[in-house]
Amino acid sequence: MTTRQLSSQNVPTQLGRAAVQIFAANERMNQMLIEHLDPRAWNAKPPGKTRPIAAIFTHMHNVRTKWIRLTAGHLKVPRQLHRTKCTPQQARAGLAESAARCEEMLAEALGGSGGRVEKFHRDGWAKPWPVGVEMLCYMLSHEAHHRGQVCMLAHQLGFPLPIAAGSGLWNWESLWKECGSPRGPGYDS
């Protein structure tokens, strides 16, 4: 599957460019987790009423598709993933596609180009927000929460992530470079 890569350099404002780059780094973190996750952890049954790791990643993708559908319906909305049948490879592909659409949505919302995105709709029941940096913060917070769940569950299930993978989530200079910004965070790409 191919997705159109959005270049942050095509977004007219510094905030728009930064939002695209930040969400790309956020997605790289998701991809790194799946890459380094022991395959046995993917569908392992966690204790209690907790979702399995596969269901957490499919939830992240499916929520993105909802944000796109409600906020930027003119963009192609990716197909949702099935929480019990999804493989790690399907999750990686789905997340990559939904990340690309979220980056387009953020570029339109925060890029100052008068795009069609004027309000951020988190859910059908929630009051929409005017677009702004709060939209990006909400999206990142949601995903960081679930990445934390995945790391904790993997450890609890006896499949801790390699130390290098956990440390890699915090190496923003490297993440930024992998996402196309050779000078790293804080530099206008």
- pLDDT score, position 4: 46
More confident residue, 143 or 183: 143
| pLDDT of 148 strictly over 70 | yes
Q: What is the CA radius of gyration of the chain?
A: 16
Per-residue buried b or exposed e for 19-56, using 16+ beta carbons within 10 Å of the residue's own CB: bbbbbbbbbbbbebbbeebeeebbebebeeeeebbbbb
Q: How far, in Å, CA of 164 to CA of 146, rounded?
A: 20
Scored b (16 or more CB within 10 A) or e, 164-184 reads ebbebbeeeeebbeebebeee
Q: What is the mean pLDDT of residues 130-153?
A: 96
Quick one: tokens of 179? Answer: 């996402």
**Other C-beta atoms within 10 Å of 112: how many?**
14
Confidence of residue 187 (pLDDT cuts 50, 70, 90): confident
Mean pLDDT of the chain: 90
Provide mean pLDDT across the span 93-116.
92
Question: First vs last Cα of the chain: how many Å apart?
Answer: 26
Q: If you average pLDDT over residues 164-183, what whole number do you get?
A: 86
Percent of the chain surpassing pLDDT 70? 92
Q: What is the pLDDT averaged over residues 93-119?
A: 92
Average pLDDT value for residue range 170-187: 83
> What predicted TM-score, i.e. pTM, was given to this entire model?
0.91
What would the two tokens of residue 169 be?
Answer: 């989530």
- Contact partners, residue 157, CB within 8 Å, separation at least 6: 41, 44, 46
- Alpha carbons 23 and 175: distance in angstroms, whole number: 11
Residue 3 reports pLDDT greater than 60:
no
pLDDT of residue 10: 63
